[in-house]
Amino acid sequence: MEIIKKLEISEEQMADLLVCAFEGGINYWCGKIEITAFPEKTKPEDDFSNMLASDIVPKGGTIALHDAEDPDEIYWLNREKMLKGISLGMDWGNFATVEELMDGHDAETADVIVQYAIFGEITFG
């Protein structure tokens, strides 16, 4: 028998995890972060062109993470992948709630979440 627990994470919380990953968690394997697809506009006045990469993914856009050793190797990250990574990362870190994750995460946790999101496993480190 399997028990599935539904957790909610806000766009701001997801962006915070990505900032932590981008500013120290993934730098040893990711050499460049590039915004490749902006989220869909919901209103004509929406302008995502000045947003940070950490804000693009939670809003539905896509970013490319370039491998540090082989810049032609690109890993794609979007909101759906990030949600999967957060779920697996919470299991990895034994976080029972999103609040525990947000209170207890560090650069290593953020790195693990992004790796789970992209690869489905911990590939680097």
Query: Average of pLDDT values for 86-111?
Result: 95
pLDDT digits (tens, 9 = 90+) for 24-46: 999 999 999 999 888 776 667 66
Domain segments of the chain: what residues? 11-43+51-118
Query: Average of pLDDT values for 5-27?
Result: 93
Residue 13's region, left for phi above 0, alpha for psi from -120 to 50, else beta, is: alpha
Full-prediction pTM beyond 0.85? yes
Query: Average of pLDDT values for 87-111?
Result: 95
- How far apart CA 77 and CA 35 sit, in angstroms, is 10
Please indicate whether residue 125 or residue 34 has the higher confidence score (pLDDT). Answer: 34
